[in-house]
Structure formats: structure tokens, C-alpha cells
Amino acid sequence: MPLTRPLLELPLRSPLFVFLFLVALPALAQPIKGQATVIDGDTIEIAGTRIRLHGIDAPESSQRCQDARGQDYRCGQRAAFALADWIGRANVSCERRDTDRYGRVVAVCRARGIDMNRWMVREGWAVAYREYSPEYVPDELAAQRARAGLWAGRFIPPSEWRRGQR
């Protein structure tokens, strides 16, 4: 008898479903690798794939902050430049964690074997995005103690700034 039920109606335990799931699983787990273009302090692009850095939140491109002397500066732009300078021409490898509401891959990315998400927070150019992960909170506290990057002056957390607390 021919298979007449749609594929989506197959029971989860059917051999065909298990086979299709196991065949697709490695494709989902494959890292995204290549030269990265920095979009902003927490978003990169590799070979046409937009990647949001997991667990961190960097200032928006147009966001302004104050430095240690109280002078305004474009902290979002500076965060993006810091990331781009740090990556340089190194190959980047990203491990997918999720997909965000904008369709971007959410990932932990590495360059030269170093977690770039952690690097951004440690250098003070991004904060731990506690709403999504506590992973980088210790790094944020270290940056705050060292008065690194954003922590050298005053800034509105990026999530508040986006909500209009400008």
C-alpha cells in the first residue's frame, strides 16, 4: 500500500521520522565559519548569514555615552569598531544556540580560539544580556571593576536605550 499520509502526520516514533530527524540533525549542529563582517557590537555576518552574539548586548550604532571626562561619544560605533579591530582578518567560527525573532542565528562565536562574546563583555563594549543568559555576568562584573570600555564613563544600558530611555 502506498504512503498516503502527509509527512507531518507521521507519528514521532515512526522509523521514517527518526531517520529524517537524524539526517537533519548534523546540518543544524554545523558551525558557521568564515570571514566576518561586523554589523554592530553584537551582530556579525558570515557568508550572508546574520549572527546575533548570544548572551550579550552592545550599544546601538547611534547610541551616545559619556566618557570618563563627561564628553559625549558614539559608544555604539566604538563598540563595533572594537569588535572589528579585534577580529581583524581572523576566521570566525560560530556555534548556533537559537534563532531570534528577526530570523538571525544566535550564536557563541570564536576567533583565534577565543570566545568573542566574552571578549566584548570583558573589554567593556557590551553588557551581559541577563534576560537571555547569565553566562557573561562574571565578565561584566570584571569589566565594571576595571572601568573598561563603557564602564569608564556613563551609559544607558542598550536594552533601556532601545525602549526609548534616551
Q: Give domain limits for the chain.
A: 30-154
CATH match of 30-154 with 3.40.50.720: no
Catalogue the active-site residues: 52, 60, 104
Specify the pLDDT at position 29: 67
Report the phi/psi class of residue 151: left, alpha or beta, with left for phi > 0 and alpha for psi in -120 to 50. alpha
Give yes or no for residue 23 having a pLDDT over 90: no
Does the reported pTM lie above 0.75?
Answer: yes
Give yes or no for residue 80 having a pLDDT over 60: yes
Specify the pLDDT at position 26: 47
Q: What's the mean pLDDT when you consider all of the chain?
A: 88
Report the phi/psi class of residue 162: left, alpha or beta, with left for phi > 0 and alpha for psi in -120 to 50. alpha
- Torsion angles phi and psi, residue 157, rounded to 5: -50, 140
Neighbouring C-beta atoms of residue 150, cutoff 10 Å: 29
Tens of pLDDT, residue by residue over 28-79, are: 569 999 999 999 999 999 999 999 999 999 999 999 999 999 999 999 999 9
Q: How many whole angstroms separate alpha carbon 83 and alpha carbon 121?
A: 11
